[in-house]
Amino acid sequence: MFRETKARSILKTFSWRILATLTTTLLVYIFTKRIKIALAIGAVEFAAKIIIYFFHERLWNKISFGRKDIMPFVIWFTGLPSSGKAEFADAVCKTLSEKSFKVERLHGSKIRGILPRTGFSKEDRDKHIKRVGLLANILENNKIVVVASFVSPYQEARNFVRKICDNFIEIYMNTPLRECQKRDKKGLYKKAKEGLLSNFTGIDGPYEPPQNPELVIDASRISLDEGVKKILDYLDKKDLLR
């Protein structure tokens, strides 16, 4: 993957124009056998085509036909710890990047150095999610697709993010608690059960399931590839992949 700079595009345009002009000059010389006429016609053609191309591009910049605005959106993965949020979000983010979308991935470890640290009370958790939502909204307003994955256990905070974002897609990772515990590589559930962690969502901390999510995925019943396809199919249906 690479991004073509303006300098490279300009150089390619001029190199193609020069090659085309040399071809014209050569053809004129072949038919007339007069080098001065061939060079003169080549020079006139070069200048004329550059001018015509300049105004041609300016004209099409004013024509809206066939032009589609970029429609950014926010994909918000929510669910219990180890429900597959990060795994599915990473895969979706990678796929969208490969489709040349400008994508920003938001998750806990990435924004710890950006947003102030908060506690684990309902008030603190809601405050944190709302801050992340405001960040997602700023990115969306700048034509950037956002893929976020947070436990975000409370409906109120998620509704706040939905309200401020123009295109909010909530994906509820409805993976059963027992399966989440099996998938927990960090052993956080075990620590919570032993009392080493408090207010841990799924053990002694509440989780309010989304009321009307756009998609529901159970990581114990669907593979990663199938889940990503399901999400992309939804985006395509909503005409967000154009």
Count of alpha carbons within 13 Å of 44, Cβ hemisphere only? 7
- What are the residue boundaries of the structural domains of the chain, listed by start? 8-61, 74-237
Cα dist from 73 to 21, 30, 101, 154, whole Å: 46, 58, 11, 21
Band the pLDDT of 1: cuts 50, 70, 90. Answer: very low
Q: Which residue has the tokens 């024509």?
A: 63
Mean pLDDT computed over 55-64: 80
83 is catalytic: no
Please give the pLDDT value at position 93: 96
pLDDT, one tens digit per residue, over 187-196 is 999 999 999 9
Scan for tokens 């994955």, then name that residue: 149
Residue 62 is classified by DSSP as T
- Is 2's pLDDT higher than 90? no
Rounded CA-CA distance 194/200 in Å is 11
Contact 192, 200 (CB under 8 A): yes
3-state DSSP assignment of residue 52: helix
Confidence at residue 146, expressed as pLDDT on a 0 to 100 scale? 97
Position 214 scores a pLDDT of 97
CA torsion 14-15-18-20 (nearest 10°) is -110
21-41 confidence digits (pLDDT tens): 898 889 888 889 889 898 999
β partners of residue 149: 77, 107
Lowest-pLDDT choice from 34-48, 155-169, 221-235: 34-48
Query: What pLDDT sits at residue 239?
Result: 87
Which of the residues 149, 152, 220, 223 is marked catalytic?
Answer: 152
pLDDT in tens, 68-115: 667 899 999 999 999 999 999 999 999 999 988 999 999 987 787 677
Provide the pLDDT confidence category of residue 158 given band limits of 50, 70 and 90.
very high
What backbone phi and psi angles, to 5 degrees, belong to 41? Answer: -65, -40
pLDDT, averaged across the chain: 89
Q: How far does the chain reach from its first CA to its final CA, in angstroms?
A: 20
Distance CA 128, CA 116 (A): 8
d(CA 242, CA 133): 25
Fold of the 74-237 domain: Rossmann fold (3.40.50)
DSSP 201: B
Taking the C-alpha atoms of residue 53 and residue 55, their distance in angstroms, rounded to an integer, is: 6
Pairing of strands 74-79, 145-149: parallel
Structure-model confidence comparison of residues 61 and 44, the more confident one? 44
- Give the mean model confidence (pLDDT) for residues 147-170: 96
pLDDT (tens digit per residue) in 128-150: 999 999 999 999 999 999 999 99
Q: At residue 179, does pLDDT exceed 90? A: yes
- Cα gap 113→116, rounded to integer Å: 8
Contact indicator for 134, 126 with CB cutoff of 8 Å: no
